[in-house]
Structures are given as structure tokens and as C-alpha cells.
Amino acid sequence: MSDKTTELAKILADVREKTGVDVRFSPHGGEETCFALDYCGEKTEAYLDGVGEAAQRSARLVAYLVSNADLKQLLPDKEEHLKNILLGEGGSWYVYRFMTKYNLPDTPCFALDIYTDGRLAETVAHMENCLADSRDMVIAMDDSRCAVVRFSEEGQPAAEFAQFLSQSLYEETGVKASVGVGCEVKSFAEIAVSYHQAATAVRMSGIFHGKGEVHSYREYLLVKMLEDVPESRLREYTGQFRIENAEEVLADEDMITTAEEFLENSLNISETSRNLYMHRNTLMYRLDKIERITGLNIRKFSDAVTFRVITILYKLLK
């Protein structure tokens, strides 16, 4: 065996340890895939068990790792690898290598961002116990938050699964957490997008005092769209809406709470008064006051939408 073949064998042993893909230099017969390895300018035939797309994917991964072995671009440990993927670091090959090593399905999935002000290790341990599917993953992102990757199950919406995790965490450990829910993506290759959305939902819920513990990115899509607008343009909008005239309402916590509860309850006066434990006449008085100061009758859908935009602009600029 030549020196190069010996070195290649060592590299393949390292690849097998890190990816679980077993490659050999001679055929065994049966269902196997033959492919070429390019190492130090020489091509060598190699074989691995299995046929089809999964085997071809493994072959491409091994070929890539071998050709870049001199650059020491072999896989990091699972936690570091997953964390980097969620943060959007590394390219498509970086994600592809992770999927291949841990045999992840190419199916829809979503990410959750779970923020807690303490007992993170206990939170992570509880999440791991709740993940029945071995493909689902949880990882600590920093000292106060962890991420969950969930491969979607038909019939269980992401928000419902997040609510289950939040409730079981509090009931079994006493830990209260804020859970952000990212949108479902078509493949794990896009999971960084979903995690960014989940983290944005948690951040926005803090700014806008979102109700409850579970916050969907979809709830804050309008907020995110406005946040992405340059500040100079936002200030133009505030001038058009004459927000300075509404300061009395926007700076009054009781008035804002009343208005937001009214909007949350689909402009239903009876439902809002029940939820706020407020007499109907008191609620009507506050709605009238908002109309008198801002010129907006938020009992009307169009004015309610305008008022919602104004409150977002006010908080973003603050």
C-alpha cells in the first residue's frame, strides 16, 4: 500500500468516525455505490453500501471531505455544528454535512427560541424529555436561551406544540419562559430563517408586551416590516399620522392596554370588558377619548388598523 493510500485510509477512518459513513476501496457485491475520491491529484475508486439518493448524498459528502482534508474542514461536534447552522453561519455544504451525518429527513421543520431568566440547564433537560422524535433537537444558544428544532407532524401546528412545551415546562419545573415560534420551512437547509423569526418574535414580544408565553413570528410580521423601514421614512410616516397629537393616549399605559385588548378581541366590546374586568360604560368612555384625541374611531376596522400602525411606529421610534 502506497503512502498516499495509507493517508487516504486514515482520512476515511476519520470520516467514518465523524459521519458514520463506511467507505472501502474494493466492491463487496450487492447494492453498493461506486464513486471517485480525488486526493493529492490522484483519483481512487471507492465504494459504500446502498444505492439511491441517500447513498449518492453520502458519497458526495465523503468526496468533499477527502478533497478538503488538507484544509482540515472536517465536522465539528454536533452542538457547535447545530448552533452555527441556526445562526446562519456556514454555507449549504455545512448544513448538508450535518444532515448527512445525523440522517435528518429532507422534510418541513420549524424552530423555537425559548428565553428564560434562569435555570437554563433544567429547561434544556425538560425540552429533551419532551421531544419524542429522535430527529428533533434542542441546544443551548447562550446563558439565557435555548433553541428547539422540530420536524413537523401532520395535524399539529407549530404554535400548539410551543404551547405544550411552555405549559409542561411551567407545570413540571416551575420555570416560566417566553417562546418564539418561527414559520415552517420546507427543509432543514432553511432552518436558520425559521430560528431568526423565532428569536425576532421573542424580542418583539418584549417591546410590545405580548400577552402570554408563546409568540408567533406571524403576529409581528407587520412590526418587522416597519422595523426594516429606514428611520427617516418612519419619521415621515409619524408626521403624516400626526402622532404628536396622540401622545396623551400612546403614553398612557391604561389607555393603550384597553385599546390593544379591544383590537385583540376583534373589536368586540362585550368580550373586551369581560377580559379587562371593566364596566362597559368605562370601556366606551375610553374608546370615545381615543377618538377625541386621535380622530380615530377604533370601533371601525380601517381606523383600528391605522391606530395599530401608529402604536407600532411610536414604540419603534421610542
Supply φ then ψ for residue 116, to 5 degrees: -140, 145
- How many other C-beta atoms can be found within 10 angstroms of the C-beta atom of residue 31? 10
Provide the 8-state DSSP code for 72: T
Q: What is the pLDDT of residue 183?
A: 92
For residue 87, give the 3-state DSSP assignment.
coil
Q: What is the pLDDT of residue 148?
A: 95
pTM score, whole prediction: 0.66
Is 39:11 a contact under the CB 8 Å cutoff? yes
Measured CA to CA, the distance from residue 297 to residue 291 in angstroms comes to 5
Q: pLDDT tens string for the chain (318 positions)?
A: 565 677 788 788 878 877 788 888 888 888 899 998 887 777 888 899 888 888 898 888 888 888 776 544 456 778 888 999 999 987 777 888 788 778 888 889 999 999 987 889 999 999 998 887 678 999 999 989 999 999 977 667 888 999 999 999 999 988 888 999 999 999 999 999 999 999 999 988 887 766 678 999 888 888 888 888 888 888 887 777 776 667 778 888 888 888 888 888 888 999 989 988 999 999 999 999 888 888 889 999 988 888 888 888 888 887
- Amino acid identity, position 126: H
Q: What pLDDT digit, counting tens, does each position of 57-106 carry?
A: 888 888 888 877 654 445 677 888 899 999 998 777 788 878 877 888 88
Q: What is the pLDDT of residue 244?
A: 60
Provide the 8-state DSSP code for 182: P
